[in-house]
Chains A and B, each alone.
Chain A
Amino acid sequence: MTVPADVLVVGASAGGLAVAEALRRQGHRGGLTVLGAEPHPPYDRPPLSKQVLRGAWERERAHLRSAEQLGALEAEFILGDAAVRLDVAAREVLTASGRTLRADAVVLATGVTPCRLPGQDGLAGVHVLRTLDDALALREHLLAGPRLVVVGEGVLGAEVAASARGMGLDVTLAGLGPAVLADQLGDRIGGALTRLHAERGVGLRLGAAVRELTGSGGRVTGVRLATGELLPADAVVVAVGARPATGWLAGSGLRVDDGVVCDARCRAAPGVYAVGDVASWHHEGLGRRLRLENRTNAVEQAQVVAAGILGGDRPYVPVPYFWTDQYDVKIQAYGLPSAAAEVEVAEGDPEDGRFVALYREGGAVTGVLGWNMAKAARLRRPLVAGTMTLAAAPAVNVSTRA
Chain B
Amino acid sequence: MNITVDADKCCGAGQCVLLAPDVFDQNEDDGIVVLLDATPPEALRAAVREAAEVCPAAAITVEERP
Contacts and interface: CB of A to CB of B under 8 A. Distances in A.
A295 B53 CA distance: 12
Interface string A21-38: 110010000000000000
Interface stretch (A85-93, A139-147, A370-378): A370-378
B20 to A, nearest CB: 14
Contacts of A201: none
Interface stretch (A109-117, A252-260, A296-304): A296-304
B53 to A, nearest CB: 5
Nearest to B26: A375
Contact of B31 (A14, A18, A25, A375): A375
Contacts, number: 66
A352 B1 CA distance: 41
Interface magnitude class on chain B: 20 to 34
Contacts of B42: none
Nearest to B52: A21
B56 to A, nearest CB: 4
Interface string B1-39: 000000001011111011000000011101110000000
The residue among A46, A65, A323 with the most chain B CB atoms within 10 A of its own CB is A323
B31 to A, nearest CB: 2
B56 A296 contact: yes
A332 interface: yes
Contacts of B28: 375-376
A321 B54 contact: no
A243 B12 CA distance: 28
B57 A46 contact: yes
A46 B56 contact: yes
B31 A378 contact: yes
B58 A65 contact: yes
Contacts of B49: 25
A323 B26 CA distance: 15
B58 A64 contact: yes
A333 to B, nearest CB: 11
Contacts of B18: 378, 381
B24 to A, nearest CB: 11
Contacts of A303: 50, 54
Given A330-B30, A374-B12, A22 B53 contact: yes
Contacts of B32: 374
Contacts of B26: 374-375, 378
A332 B30 CA distance: 11
A375 B56 CA distance: 16
A299 B31 contact: no
A44 interface: yes
Interface in A357-396: 370, 372-378, 381
24 contacts: A14-B56, A21-B53, A25-B49, A25-B53, A61-B9, A64-B58, A296-B54, A296-B56, A299-B54, A299-B56, A303-B50, A325-B11, A330-B30, A332-B12, A373-B31, A374-B12, A374-B13, A374-B14, A374-B30, A374-B32, A375-B12, A375-B31, A376-B28, A378-B14
Interface of B: 9, 11-15, 17-18, 26-28, 30-32, 49-50, 53-54, 56-58
